[in-house]
Amino acid sequence: MPVRSLVSKPDLAQLKYQAKDLLKALAGRDRATAQRAREFHPQFHQKADAEIFTGPVSLSDAQTIIAREYGFRSWAALKRYVEKPTAAANTALSYYERIEDPVFLQGLQLIDAGNVAALQAHLLQHPALVRQRVLFEGGNYFRNPTLLEFVAENPVRNDTLPENIVEVAKVLLDAGAKEDTAALNETLGLVCSGRVPRERRKQLPLIDLLCAYGVDPESALCTALAHGEFEAVHSLIQHGARVNLTVAAALGRVEKARELLPHAIREERQGALALASQFGHTAVVQLLLDDGQDPDRYNPPGFHSHSTPLHQAALAGHLDVVRLLVERGANLDMIDTLWKGTAIGWARHAGQSQVESYLLSQKGKG
C-alpha cells in the first residue's frame, strides 16, 4: 500500500488525534479502517474485519498504524522526526542528500557511475560496507537498503542505469553481498518491479545474474505480477518459480486456475481475485466469485491493498470485469483507504468514460 506524505511542518498533537479517530472508526466497524490496520500493523495482518472490530485495539496500536502509514517504522520514530527532523527521513531530498555516511555515499556514487575498478578498491578498503544498510524513513518501500539494492534504480533516482550495471552488481555480490539473503531477495523484487531496468534492457540480465547466485525466484514473483512486469514474471518461472493460483489468475490461465483452486490457500485466492480483476481476466474472476470470494474485500498486502478489485478493474477500464463484479454484489460506495475515492471516481480520474457511465447507471439500483 502506498504511504501518506507528512505535511511540511507536522504537528504531533494532530497526529495523536488521527490515532484517536482511527480507534473511533474501528469502533464504528469501518471496513476501510480495518484494512489500514491489517496493512500497517503486524498484529492484524491475517485477521478478518470482524476479528479486528472485536479487538482489542489499543491507542498504542493505533499510533503504530498511523506511524507506518507515513512510512515510519514506529510511533517513536515518527515522534523523533516531528520533534527533530533529519535528512534521512526527508523525502523531499534526493537519496544522495539523505545518506549521512560518506563511505556509503561514495560507494553509491561509484555504482551510479559504473566505475567497477574504483568500486572494487572501495570495497576492499571497507570490507564491511557491502553488508551495511542505510535507514530511510517516510517512504513507501526501500527503507533499509544495502548497496546492492541500489542497482535496481527502484525507486527511480537518476532515471537511468550504467551500461555495465550487471558487472557492477557482480562486483557487489562477489564482495560479500551474496551472503545476505534478505538483501538478495529484496534486490530481485526491486529489479522485477522496476520500470528503469526494463526500459534499459537490464531487467532480464539482472534476474539471470541474481538467480545464478542462488536467489529464490519465487520471492519476487508476486511483486512482478502486481506491477504488470510480465517479462520478468516469465523469466522467474523459467528460473523455477512455482505457478500457484495467484500467478495463474494474473496470467489469465483459466484452466490452470481451475486446477489449482481446490488446493489454494486463502491468501492465494484473495491475490488471484485482485490480479485477475486488475488485468481484466473475466473468466478467472467469474471462477473465483463462483468459489465464494468476496468482491468487496480489500486486496491483500502487496496487491494494491488500498483498493478493492472493483477499483482496479475500473482504473484499467475492464468493463466486462466491472459488470461482473457489480452483478455479484460489489458495493459502489466502497472507498479506497488512501485517497478516499470510489470506483466511479477512479474511473473518472483514469478517463475510463464507459466504465464511469456504467457505474453511474448502477448507482442506487437494488
User: How many Cα atoms within 13 Å fall on the side-chain side of residue 34?
Assistant: 22
Whether 220 has a pLDDT exceeding 90, the answer reads yes
pLDDT at 55: 81
Q: Give the separation between CA 54 and CA 178, rounded to whole angstroms.
A: 45
Cβ atoms of 222 and 303 within 8 Å: the answer is: yes
CATH architecture of 95-238: Alpha Horseshoe (1.25)
Domain spans in the chain, listed from the N-terminal domain onward: 12-85, 95-238, 245-362
245-362: same fold as 95-238?
Answer: yes
SS3 of residue 123 by DSSP: helix
Instruction: Say what percent of the chain tops pLDDT 90.
Output: 89
Q: What is the DSSP letter of 80?
A: H
Q: Percent of the chain having pLDDT more than 70?
A: 99
Whether the per-residue pLDDT at 16 is higher than 70: the answer is: yes
Q: Is the pLDDT of residue 111 over 90?
A: yes
Own/partner pairs, 266-269, CB within 8 angstroms, 24+ separation: 267/300, 268/244, 269/245, 269/293
> Which amino acid is residue 27, in one-letter code?
A
d(CA 81, CA 90): 9
What is the pLDDT averaged over residues 226-233?
A: 96
What pLDDT score was predicted for residue 88? 84
Taking 80 as the threshold, does the pLDDT of residue 252 lie above it?
A: yes
Structure confidence at residue 366 (pLDDT)? 54
Per residue in 57-82, pLDDT (tens digit) is 999 999 999 999 999 999 999 999 99
* Predicted local distance difference test score (pLDDT) of residue 1: 56
CATH architecture of 245-362: Alpha Horseshoe (1.25)
